[in-house]
Amino acid sequence: MDMHTLTRELQVKNKSKIVMLVGDGLGGLPMTAGGKTELETAKTPNLDALAAKGVQGLSIPVKPGIAPGSGPGHLGLFGYDPLEYQIGRGALEATGIGFELQAGDVAIRCNFCTLDNAGNISDRRAGRISTEESTPLAISLRQIKIPGIEVFVEPVKEHRFVVVFRGPGLKGSVKDTDPQATGVPPLEPVAADEASQKTAEVAKEFLKQAKEILKSEKKANFHTMRGFADRPNMPTYHEVYGLRAAAIAVYPMYKGLARLVGMDIVGEALTLQDQMDVLKQNWDDYDFFFLHFKYTDSTGEDGNFDEKVRRTEELDGCLKAITALNPEVLIVTGDHSTPAYLKSHSWHPVPTLLVSDCCRPDPHTTFGESTAITGGLGQFEAKYLMLLALSNAGRMGKFGA
């Protein structure tokens, strides 16, 4: 019996509210041996107060030693085994901006980049070009025509845009064209299996035409293609947990992931305060709320320890607005660790805090990596977090006689 079969059988309806606050990339490392992590360095009075009432531990996003992308990291938090449900980044990005993928579509997340005179990448994100600059460039690529294929191009945010190919015989197993390095040329799209060969050929033609259209641009004179993905087939939160679920996120990819598991995307939030306002406005209409905060991840990837500390303190500051609504269950966690020390996602388990009236509190009165190691939740796979949330909310019946 798999986990979702179990939750379908045991789910109980009640009026409880569950809030899951995800600080993307929350986990970290000290910059020097024996020092404190970003989370431990930050002044987090609200998290510490919750730690005194709750129980903490470390969640393993996928498996020990595996550094996950944001997609697998969030799927685990949502209770979907990320090894069973693999969603490409292109599908997340497309769904996140509200594009309705159809069966047989292939979606690709694209990044504008800068090529030097030798054809090598000098900037993988085109100087982090603004949305105002990038949007007309993405729209200009709509003139690309490929026989037998419908091509959709949608701006996203800053240097990112989405391309969707629609037509017969397309599959999404194509390797990224971003070499993840500068000073080298972009890679050619290469099919990872025979079924995706046509997609690779279509992508080559798209890139050929795009290069001609963008050649006179100073910053965004080309683009890379990442996360080729088919439309996934996912059971919804309502089906497997009996929950009316809402997502409150700023970045499109996280909206997309939430939409793929059947959450409603509510409100138009640009700041953390906006998100708190949307949460309060929609409180009576949903049972489960997913709140996403990006900047603990991006600052870690930039290697900016101090800024990640500041962003962690910003995350802490929103908790009073959440606790004022008195959710039956409040979870604070991350989808993975992004230590500034490593400037990347890492394999380290993620500090996770759960607060409810019926949790079994551990002795800790602060929240961080060192306390989470000995916290009452222990170390557990993130895919089980939703079971803990449901049980603490009184939404899981007894298994067996």
DSSP string, 267-305: S--SSHHHHHHHHHHTGGG-SEEEEEE-HHHHHHHTT-H
CATH 3.40.720.10 in the chain, residue ranges = 3-86+235-392
Spatial distance between the Cα atoms of 39 and 30, rounded to a whole number of angstroms: 10
Element (H, E) at 387: helix 385-392
What per-residue confidence (pLDDT) applies to 40?
Answer: 98
164 vs 33, 228, 230, 254, CA distance in Å? 46, 9, 10, 18
Spatial distance between the Cα atoms of 80 and 259, rounded to a whole number of angstroms: 14
Task: Order the strands of the 288-293 sheet from edge to edge.
Answer: 264-265, 245-248, 288-293, 18-23, 329-333, 350-356, 55-60, 378-381
What per-residue confidence (pLDDT) applies to 372?
Answer: 98
25-54 pLDDT, tens digit per residue, is: 999 999 999 999 999 999 999 999 999 999
Residue 230's SS3 state is strand
The DSSP secondary-structure symbol of 61 reads: S
Low-confidence residues of the chain, pLDDT below 50? none
What per-residue confidence (pLDDT) applies to 234?
Answer: 87
Q: Which of 204, 383, 180, 215 is nearest to 301 (CA)?
A: 180
What per-residue confidence (pLDDT) applies to 395?
Answer: 98
Is the CB of residue 350 less than 8 Å from the CB of residue 335? yes
What per-residue confidence (pLDDT) applies to 60?
Answer: 98
What per-residue confidence (pLDDT) applies to 126?
Answer: 95
CATH of 3-86+235-392, one of 1.10.3720.10, 3.40.50.2000, 3.40.50.1220, 3.40.720.10: 3.40.720.10
State if pTM tops 0.75: yes
Spatial distance between the Cα atoms of 218 and 16, rounded to a whole number of angstroms: 54
Spatial distance between the Cα atoms of 62 and 80, rounded to a whole number of angstroms: 10
CA triplet 23, 263, 14: central angle to 5 degrees?
95
101-143 pLDDT, tens digit per residue, is: 888 899 999 999 999 999 999 999 999 999 999 999 999 999 9
341-354 pLDDT, tens digit per residue, is: 999 999 999 999 99
